[in-house]
Amino acid sequence: MSDAAPLPTPQAQDGGVPHEIYPLGLKIAGRLVVVVGGGPVAARRARSLVEAGARVRVIAPDVCEELVVLARVSPSGAVELVARAYGPGDLDGAWLVHTATGSPAVDRQVSDDAERARIFCVTAGDASVGSAWVPAVARTTLTDDAEVTVSVTAGRDPRRSRALRDAVSAALQSGTLPLRRHRPSPESLGRVWLVGGGPGDTGLITARGRTVLAQADVVIIDRLGPRALLHELSPDVEIIDVGKTSGNHPVPQHEINALLIQHAQAGRDVVRLKGGDPYVFGRGGEELAACRAAGIEVEVVPGVTSAVSVPAAVGIPVTHRGVARGFSVLTGHDGAADVPGGPDHTLVLLMGVTHLADTAEALITDDRPADTPAAVVEDGYGPCQRVTVGTLATIAARAAEADVRPPAVIVVGAVVRLSPAWANQAR
C-alpha cells in the first residue's frame, strides 16, 4: 500500500461544489456523428454538425422536410439518412451521438449504448440522461479572420443560456468587448478599414463599424467622426486626428493616404473613421485606391450619410409621396444651379454655409422659384443641433442673423414644409 496522502476532494474555484461540466471544443470535421431522431430538433443539430464539417448519420423511421433538404444540399457524403428505428450497432464508429426522438425510452437506450461504447451522448429530451451538453453559441469573425466563439451553459436552463448568448453576441457586434489582437505578426501587413461613422451620434455607427473599431491598433479620425467612441478604446490605441475645417486642411489628403499605408505596412490594423459615409464626399475612393496600389487589404464599411440623416433629425424627409419624388446631393461649392428639377426634387447641399447667399441666388430659376422652402440644419444629432428655415429668397439673411456655423446641411425643396420648424415659423 502506498503511504502517499489521499488526493483532496476537488473544489470549484469559488469554493463551492465541483463544476459538473468541463468546457471543451470538439474538432469533428470528417468524423462520424450519429443523430437519432428525425424531427425539427434533430434537424437543427444535424445542420450545426454539417456546418462544423462532420459526417452525419441520421437514424429515424421518418424524417422532416428540413432533413431531406439538408441531405440534398450538403456536400456528397456529409449526410446519410437511415430510414428505420434505432437498433444495436448503430453507434459503431461514431465519435459523438445526439438523440432527439421524443421518446424517453429510446433516448435512454441510445444514451446507455453510448455510455457502454465510451461515446459522449447529447440527449435533447432530458439533459440529465446524457453525458454531454450543447451550449448556446455566439460567434463573430474578427478583422484578422480569427473566429471568436463563446459558449454558454446555464444550469441546464436553455432559455437562460440563449438569453446570455444573445447578450454576448450583441456585445461582440457592438464592439464593447475587448476584441483587439495581442499578438500581432510583424512579418504580415496590417489592414485598413474605411469606416463611415454616421452623422456623429455614437448610436448611428453600424454594428460592423463598432466591431472593427474595437480591433484597431490605429484610428485616423476626421473632425466629424463620432469622437465619443474614442473614449471606449484601449489607452494603447494610437489616435491620429486629421480633421479639416473650411479653408483649413492641416493634413492634406496625400499625407492621410501615406499614414494609412505606413501603419498597415508596419503590421497594424488601421481604422479610418469618417463622418457620414466614406463614399459620400468622404474621399474614400481615393484612400482605397492608394492602399490597394500599395498592396494593402482594404474594406469599406458604409455609414449613415448626413445627407439623409441630418434632415431627418429635424423632421425633414428627403422624399415624401406627393411632395418630392427624388433628391440630389451636392457640395456647396459645386454648380447647384445646374441641377434640374423644381420644389418637388429635393436638393441637399453639404459644406455649403460659406457660400449660402450665392448658392441660394443661383438656385432661383423658372422651375425653382424664390419662395421654394429651404432649411439649414446645424450640428445634426449633436448637442448644438438647430434648424433655421426660410425660402431661397430669405434663407441666407436668416442664417446670417442666426449666426449659423458649420457643420451644417442645407435642404432645398417642398419637403422642408413637413418639418416642425416650418410649422412653428408659420405660427
Closest by alpha carbon to 349, among 366, 363, 328?
328
Could you give the 3-state DSSP secondary structure of residue 350?
A: strand
Could you give the 3-state DSSP secondary structure of residue 34?
A: strand
Q: Write out the three cell numbers for 284.
A: 474614400
CB 247 within 8 A of CB 267: no
How far apart CA 328 and CA 346 sit, in angstroms, is 6
One DSSP character per residue, 99-141 reads E--S-HHHHHHHHHHHHHTT-EEEESS-GGGSSB-PPEEEEEE
Tell me whether residue 274 is one of the annotated catalytic residues. Answer: no
Distance of CA 36 to the CA centre of its chain: 37
**Which position among 144, 244, 334, 358 bears the catalytic label?**
244
How far apart CA 192 and CA 298 sit, in angstroms, is 5
How far apart CA 267 and CA 130 sit, in angstroms, is 47
**N residues, the chain:** 427
Amino acid at site 100 = A
How far apart CA 247 and CA 254 sit, in angstroms, is 17
Backbone angles phi, psi at 252, to 5 degrees: -65, 165
**Residue whose entry in the numeric block shows the C-alpha cell 473613421:** 273
Tell me whether residue 222 is one of the annotated catalytic residues. Answer: yes
Q: Write out the three cell numbers for 224.
A: 466629424
Residue 152: count other Cβ atoms within 10 Å of its Cβ: 19
| Paired sense of beta strands 297-301 and 270-274, if any | unpaired
**Which position among 90, 113, 217, 222 bears the catalytic label?**
222
Amino acid at site 183 = R
As annotated, the active-site residues are 222, 244
